[in-house]
């Protein structure tokens, strides 16, 4: 992976996360979980180091910009309809 530069961590609350996983799906799923919670600069691909097992991915988080949790209608528990 490329070195982390001072600009990536120029202020408190900025985080660089290097992810090592067995496969693309796992690394990208973890990145998605982070992006659901914090403002995250994401990528759509992983990298492989020749001769090394697994994949790597780097993402950048801004912990100062916490996202509010939005519950979509498909994830809400079933509720009785009015008038039923």
Domain regions of the chain by residue span: 6-66
User: With 90 as the cut, is the pLDDT of residue 25 above it?
Assistant: yes
Which pLDDT does position 55 carry in this prediction? 95
pTM value is 0.64
Work out the mean pLDDT of the chain and round it to a whole number. Answer: 76
Strands, E assignment, the chain: 14-21, 38-41, 55-66
Determine contact, residues 46/59, Cβ cutoff 8 Å: no
More confident position, 69 or 35: 35
Q: Residue 75 phi/psi, 5° resolution?
A: -105, 0
Do residues 32 and 76 make contact, with C-beta atoms less than 8 angstroms apart?
no
């Amino acid at each position: 992976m490329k070195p982390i530069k001072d600009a990536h961590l120029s202020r408190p609350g900025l985080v660089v996360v290097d992810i090592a996983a067995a496969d693309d799906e796992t690394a990208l799923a973890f990145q998605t979980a982070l992006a659901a919670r914090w403002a995250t600069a994401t990528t759509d691909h992983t990298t492989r180091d020749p001769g090394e097992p697994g994949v790597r991915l780097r993402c950048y988080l801004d912990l100062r910009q916490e996202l509010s949790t939005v519950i979509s209608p498909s994830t809400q528990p079933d509720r009785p309809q009015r008038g039923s």
